[in-house]
Chains A and B, each alone.
Chain A
Amino acid sequence: GNSVTQMEGPVTLSEEAFLTINCTYTATGYPSLFWYVQYPGEGLQLLLKATKADDKGSNKGFEATYRKETTSFHLEKGSVQVSDSAVYFCALSDTADSSYKLIFGSGTRLLVRP
């Protein structure tokens, strides 16, 4: 079945450090891939997306490239800020069964220290 696996957290970084959060997926078709972010006490917000292989999604300094050969969609940011502290979720939407649902990973908590 379809699934998403994320690296376990928490990930603790100092401000201006480089961030990588790993995400790999299993899908039967050709999924669209997403990163969502959840700030404390809030719902999820779409951070970026990619709909086909080799696409790069980017937003607010975050980037992720859809790698079909490694079934990965790792999230990166060159210089994190304290305000980036949140929980990050990788998710997929599979085209194979005309599915409308998102399948989420378990989330990775990021803590950025001043």
Chain B
Amino acid sequence: DAGVTQSPTHLIKTRGQQVTLRCSPKSGHDTVSWYQQALGQGPQFIFQYYEEEERQRGNFPDRFSGHQFPNYSSELNVNALLLGDSALYLCASSRGQPHSPLHFGNGTRLTVT
């Protein structure tokens, strides 16, 4: 039973560029959440997708956008990258109910230079 898979594992981008991160949820899960984890900090909620719609959003600028596909996989897009966007980006999947336990992928390490 495959868990949550994320790609790529590492990425280096230049300030001002755009990046797309990808996530495939655990089998049987229909909800995908994205979190940003800065070095030495806890994960911060970016947004959650359910039924191909953004259901909830955290305090992140519009440069952060996402998408969910009919097979429940998801993408996170970040435009106009800033140095401060350097972080580990975690995808988590769950079933659709509130407070359903999250299953996390291993993350994508993004470095902006």
A interface vs B, CB < 8 Å? 4, 32, 34, 36, 41-46, 49, 51, 89, 91, 93, 95, 98-107
Residue from A44, A49, A101 in contact with B104 in the complex, judged by beta carbons closer than 8 Å: A44
Let me know if B41 and A106 touch, CB within 8 A: yes
Let me know if B106 and A102 touch, CB within 8 A: no
Residue from B4, B42, B103, B107 in contact with A107 in the complex, judged by beta carbons closer than 8 Å: B42
User: In the complex, A105 Cα to B103 Cα: how many Å?
Assistant: 18
B interface vs A, CB < 8 Å? 4, 31, 33, 40-45, 48, 55-56, 58, 90, 92, 98-99, 101-107
Let me know if B104 and A99 touch, CB within 8 A: no
User: In the complex, A93 Cα to B104 Cα: how many Å?
Assistant: 16
Let me know if A106 and B42 touch, CB within 8 A: yes
Most chain A C-beta atoms within 10 Å of own C-beta, residue among B42, B56, B90, B102: B42
5 nearest A-B pairs in the assembled complex, by CB-CB distance: A104-B42, A43-B104, A101-B45, A44-B104, A43-B106
